[in-house]
Amino acid sequence: MELDRDLQREILQKLADAYPGPTSGAWDEIQELTDTDTLVGNLLYLEAHGLIESGLRQSASGQHSISTGGLKITARGLDFLADDGGLSAILGVVTIRLHDDQIRLLLEARIQGSDAPEEEKRKWLDQLRGIPADATKHLVHKLIDAGLAQWPAVLSAMQTLTK
């Protein structure tokens, strides 16, 4: 059995074209795409990833049969095909909230851990603690801009984190 990305995309597209109606016509076309073993393997793979409901059943002898009434693309499968990621992209947005005191603690830790002389660290810490809460947002934007100005180092750090 071979996993075939082109075949998987064709299966998804044919099921999407039939959605939300019956898939018996799509099944007739899908069967023509490849041999049974490859088809079954790819259908089960797509089902394991939640992109389709395969309608496949395995008998005691190991043979697979399909109920075309159970064959359909899922919302996740439709979103996978969408260029914009579909509703999953919208609903999957993660919002990170950092309160000004948390930001101050992060910045204080960076200042404390720096190689600067103690006198300079105290000066920076005093200035940081004197910043009003509403100015912290502006400071964070400036720090992000400064970090992104160091793009090669940022990219390297991101690559290290994703390994």
Q: Which long-range contacts (CB under 8 A, 24 or more apart) does 86-92 make?
A: none
Q: By the 8 A CB rule, do 50 and 73 touch?
A: no
pTM: 0.56
11/54 same-domain check: yes
If one counts every other C-beta atom within 10 angstroms of the C-beta of residue 105, the result is 12
Residue-level pLDDT at 89: 75
Supply the range of the domain harboring residue 155.
100-161
Final residue in a domain of this structure, among 33, 64, 91: 91
81/118 same-domain check: no
Final residue in a domain of this structure, among 91, 108, 136: 91
Of 52 and 87, the one with more pLDDT: 52
- The secondary structure element, H or E, covering residue 64 is strand 64-66
Lowest mean pLDDT segment, chosen from 73-82, 83-92, 108-117: 83-92
Residue-level pLDDT at 115: 93
55/129 same-domain check: no
Final residue in a domain of this structure, among 91, 116, 140: 91
User: Positive or negative, the Cα torsion across 75, 3, 159, 106?
Assistant: positive
70/14 same-domain check: yes
| Cα–Cα dist 42/64, whole Å | 13
Residue-level pLDDT at 48: 95
pLDDT for residue 60 is more than 80: yes
- The secondary structure element, H or E, covering residue 63 is none
Of 118 and 131, the one with more pLDDT: 118
pLDDT for residue 6 is more than 90: yes
